[in-house]
Structure 1
Amino acid sequence: MRRWSLANLVSNAGTWMQLTVQNLLVLQVTGSAAATGLSLAVQAGPGLLLGVVGGSAVDRWPRKVTAAVSQAVLGLVAFSTAALIGLDLLSMPVLLLLAAVTGIVNTVDGPATALLGNDLVPAGDVPSAIALGSMVHSAGRLIGTALAAVAVGTLGASSAYLANGVSFLFVAAIIPTLRPAAHAPRQTSASTLPPARERGRPAPAPHGTASTGARAGLSYFMSRPRLVALAGITGLSSLFGRNYQLTLAVLVVGPLGAQESDFGVVSTVLAVGGVLGALLAGRLLRPTVRLVGTLAACGGLLQAAAGLSPGLVVLVLLVVPMAVVESVSDTAGATVLQTDPAPEMRGRVLGVWRSAGTAWGLAGPPLLGLLLEFAGVRVTLVSGGLLIAGAIACGGLRHRVLARPGAASPPVSVPVAASAHVSVPVAATPAALAPSAALGRAS
């Protein structure tokens, strides 16, 4: 785990070096802000369309080999981009092609590195491992953005891609040295699973082709009320909150009348709060969807309060608990997501989550942008926060009513492929982002 954490610190630093200069590079090549958005959409598109297929493939392929090969391919893409920049041969079509290849590889790399990272610790340490990964990600982001400014100013944009390529190869070299924990679940295929009666539960659907496995993964996900509820909470929070780099920036330079440099203070406080939240999340033993919902509702209320901030000082004081709550909520949700499914279904569940998360990520900023344009930043923050808290409260109340003895439950039709599971306590099973066990790549 120490080797894996070091590898991911280096890797995240390289990724953020590249991300820092990527948009500037597109602007230099095309001179168009629309082209920048197009390149981001092309890279995110495979996660939306092929995330479930990639997760299914991870369940069927050897995990360490899959992770190592995907890291090596991503490194090759980074080196190729650096060479094209150095030779002044990078054009918009080539750049879009490289972005598409990166997006496709990431649909496999994300679940593979997540599952691999969680296999390195005993079941009871999975929440701590995810929290450690969150801290590694935050530290890598700070280091990477700082190094990018130095590298680009002295060596040019290609140096960021070279550094990221080296970081990918570093992770690929570390993976063969990793050994799973004694109690980590072994990868199995449908042909090697024991008969259903011997395991006391319905037999899982055969893996079949990637598309068949993807359909089974989607059916499985939709049959798990905990996972569906987690998706609803996270999706709601992503659409109407969380995009603080956008909403708080507008609040700081708009109604609060502060300088753009003051938003740097707010961003730093957000990062510090995220690290504090990761430290607290490391003490979680049995995170639940109820905990995730409670934290998300608290985050919504804090967001609403931030929208009413009379000045920058009050906003900064509110940003700290906002960041802490978001970090703990994310870690708790990741733990549920990566431990609740049966071991043979975790790659597909992470694939479904990647597709859903990509959809939220693409829809959230434009939606908030429209609200900011027509309603103003204060109304956007307040109404969004109250909507998040109110919807979660109503969902929790409905669940409590249905859970009462004698309460009528709506009939549920569960596909055969989706019934291959039992409800497993978090602490009983080792587990499966990102954006991996938060120890996976941030790319």
Structure 2
Amino acid sequence: MNERSINRAKLPGAFHRVWAASAVSSLGDGIYFSALPLLALTLTHDSTVFGVMEAVSLLPWLLFGLIGGALVDRWDRRRTMVITDLCRCALLVVAAVASVDGFLNISVLIAIGFLLGIGGVLFDTASVAYLPELLARDQQTLQRANTRLQGTQRALGGFVGPSVGSLLFALSRTVPFAADAASFLFSSLTIRTLPVPPKKPAKPKTFILKDARIGISYVLHHKLLVGLAVRPAIGNFAFGGTTAVLALYAHDTLHLGSAGYGAFLTTQAVGGLAGTFATGWLIRRLGTGGALTLTASVEAAALLGIGVSVNAYCAGAGLVALGAAVGADMTLGPSVRQAIVPDELMGRVTAVSRLTAMSAAPLGALFGGWLAHLVGLRAPFLVGAGVLVLMTGVAARLTSNKRIDDALVKAARVREEAAADTSFLPETA
């Protein structure tokens, strides 16, 4: 049996059902996110309202991320994903019916978006925590699985979905939301066929916030997990600052029109897709830690290149490189985390890491906007590149090959000891 056959054999049929559910759901998400602003435009042209809608997409993580992680560690993760997707399907059906009947207004749309965001917190955390259970916490297998999931999400959610959503909205403003509802229904029914995980042993009930604090403490006392959490946080601070002024930079400095700006953004998505599928190649040659250090360096160089570009072609090349590095990062870090974190803490550690990363973006956006106003539109890119150089140092020190290998060995030893202890328990009738 050749290497390719062995690698394929390590991904069980159950994973392919997860993959199918993720693919359809990503397509639905892409449809929704392109149709939502179009629907909002039929209700209001107030730019403040659009700002509120953008903030609402982040609020569920800020308000409920840690609690959601604690709940996922208490609940059956497979059942959590099934119920969450059914609820999101129902919400979108309500939105479609309200749109047909003329009851949909901007307040209802924002409320539905907020509730969908809460569902996203629970589903995303549960799915990240369920995957290691399914794939026996093998880091190489998890990396291949995450590559497929990330690549599919980028292709369908980033390329196909938005285009389909715009076309469907042109047919009827209710059709995109009905299509997204159908994607959640398909996902729910597919996940329901997955293997039922072993029932968790009963534990004394504790206060939910205490459970959340345990997750925070676990991350803070684990240097590798700190590195894997701080790394994207530093990156998102820099990226938040540049994203805030990217449209202005493209228009005023690179002299791009609307069509050119759309093509400009697509280059980053193309790079992201390529970077996602290059992850395995990087790991084989550099190790996971070496790959993380390399991608951090590429991100710094790419942001610097965009900031000093003399035309849109040079800046577009920088965006391709930036997208490729970020795409690889989004597979590398989670795969290591899933392999080393104990099952009973996976939901909370995932939530802490995601919240740390996401909270830095709005701070970076505020800083980038202020810096551009004070110094000029190139400044956020140049300062951001300096911030990313700092991130390279973090990656080299806290997420080195040695630190990752040691953590993987220790996690495997802990699991073996736990299995040995369980094997000596007396059988019960």
TM-score interval for Structure 1 and Structure 2 normalised by the shorter chain: 0.7 to 0.9
Q: Report the counterpart of residue 50 of structure 1 in structure 2.
A: 64
1:16 aligns with 2:25: no
Listed as ranges, the matches of 1:409-424 within 5 Å are 423-424=407-408
Q: Report the counterpart of residue 306 of structure 1 in structure 2.
A: 306
- Partners of 2:129 and 2:350 within 8 A in 1: no
Comparing 362-371 with 82-91, greater Cα deviation is found at 362-371
Give the direction of change, closer, same or farther, for the CA distance of 1:224–1:427 in structure 2 (3 Å limit): closer
Q: Report the counterpart of residue 188 of structure 2 in structure 1.
A: 172
Q: Report the counterpart of residue 271 of structure 2 in structure 1.
A: 273
For structure 2, which runs of at least 5 residues remain unmatched after alignment? Answer: 1-14, 416-429
- Partners of 2:236 and 2:358 within 8 A in 1: no
Q: Report the counterpart of residue 176 of structure 2 in structure 1.
A: 160
For 1:154, give the aligned amino acid: L
For residues 201 and 377 of structure 2, the distance between their equivalents in structure 1, rounded to whole angstroms, comes to 51
Listed as ranges, the matches of 1:99-178 within 5 Å are 99-122=113-136, 123=138, 124-141=140-157, 142-156=159-173, 158-178=174-194
Listed as ranges, the matches of 1:201-212 within 5 Å are 208-212=206-210
SS at match of 1:19: helix
Give the direction of change, closer, same or farther, for the CA distance of 1:426–1:29 in structure 2 (3 Å limit): farther
For residues 134 and 398 of structure 1, the distance between their equivalents in structure 2, rounded to whole angstroms, comes to 24
1:134-182 Cα deviation digits (max 9, x unpaired): 11111112111111111011122x21111110000000000122238xx
For 2:348, give the aligned amino acid: R
Give the direction of change, closer, same or farther, for the CA distance of 1:218–1:189 in structure 2 (3 Å limit): farther
Q: Report the counterpart of residue 199 of structure 1 in structure 2.
A: none
Listed as ranges, the matches of 1:12-91 within 5 Å are 12-91=26-105
- Partners of 1:274 and 1:323 within 8 A in 2: yes
Cα displacement (A) at 1:72: 0.5
Task: With the length of structure 1 as denominator, give the TM-score of the two structures.
Answer: 0.80
SS at match of 1:310: coil
- Partners of 1:273 and 1:321 within 8 A in 2: yes
SS at match of 1:29: coil
Cα displacement (A) at 1:251: 2.9
For residues 64 and 238 of structure 1, the distance between their equivalents in structure 2, rounded to whole angstroms, comes to 30
For 1:354, give the aligned amino acid: R
Q: Report the counterpart of residue 10 of structure 2 in structure 1.
A: none
SS at match of 2:254: coil
1:36-84 Cα deviation digits (max 9, x unpaired): 2213323421211211111111111111111100110111111111111
- Partners of 1:12 and 1:144 within 8 A in 2: yes
For residues 224 and 155 of structure 1, the distance between their equivalents in structure 2, rounded to whole angstroms, comes to 51
Comparing 131-140 with 264-273, greater Cα deviation is found at 264-273
- Partners of 1:297 and 1:390 within 8 A in 2: no
Q: CA RMSD in A?
A: 2.9
1:262 aligns with 2:279: no
For residues 256 and 215 of structure 1, the distance between their equivalents in structure 2, rounded to whole angstroms, comes to 47
- Partners of 2:269 and 2:320 within 8 A in 1: no
For 2:209, give the aligned amino acid: S
Q: Report the counterpart of residue 374 of structure 1 in structure 2.
A: 374
SS at match of 1:89: coil
Give the direction of change, closer, same or farther, for the CA distance of 1:228–1:275 in structure 2 (3 Å limit): same
SS at match of 2:195: coil
1:80-120 Cα deviation digits (max 9, x unpaired): 11111111111233233323322222221111122234443
For 1:235, give the aligned amino acid: A
Give the direction of change, closer, same or farther, for the CA distance of 1:426–1:370 in structure 2 (3 Å limit): farther
> How many corresponding residue pairs?
391
- Partners of 1:49 and 1:355 within 8 A in 2: no
For residues 322 and 407 of structure 2, the distance between their equivalents in structure 1, rounded to whole angstroms, comes to 32
For residues 328 and 64 of structure 1, the distance between their equivalents in structure 2, rounded to whole angstroms, comes to 27
- Partners of 2:84 and 2:119 within 8 A in 1: yes
Cα displacement (A) at 1:398: 9.4
Give the direction of change, closer, same or farther, for the CA distance of 1:293–1:316 in structure 2 (3 Å limit): same
- Partners of 1:17 and 1:164 within 8 A in 2: yes
- Partners of 1:287 and 1:335 within 8 A in 2: no
- Partners of 1:289 and 1:336 within 8 A in 2: no
Q: Report the counterpart of residue 253 of structure 1 in structure 2.
A: 251
Cα displacement (A) at 1:241: 2.2
Q: Report the counterpart of residue 200 of structure 2 in structure 1.
A: 188
For 1:159, give the aligned amino acid: V
SS at match of 1:241: helix
Cα displacement (A) at 1:426: 9.5
Cα displacement (A) at 1:35: 1.3
For residues 313 and 355 of structure 1, the distance between their equivalents in structure 2, rounded to whole angstroms, comes to 35
Give the direction of change, closer, same or farther, for the CA distance of 1:53–1:240 in structure 2 (3 Å limit): same
> What percent identity do the matched residue pairs reach?
23
For 1:219, give the aligned amino acid: S
- Partners of 1:64 and 1:116 within 8 A in 2: yes
Give the direction of change, closer, same or farther, for the CA distance of 1:147–1:358 in structure 2 (3 Å limit): same
For 1:109, give the aligned amino acid: F
SS at match of 2:42: helix
- Partners of 2:240 and 2:364 within 8 A in 1: no
1:225 aligns with 2:243: no
For residues 290 and 206 of structure 2, the distance between their equivalents in structure 1, rounded to whole angstroms, comes to 35
Higher relative contact order (CA 8 A, sep 6+): 1
Q: Report the counterpart of residue 8 of structure 2 in structure 1.
A: none
1:382-410 Cα deviation digits (max 9, x unpaired): 1211222035437856999xx9xxxxxxx
- Partners of 1:51 and 1:351 within 8 A in 2: yes
- Partners of 1:50 and 1:355 within 8 A in 2: no
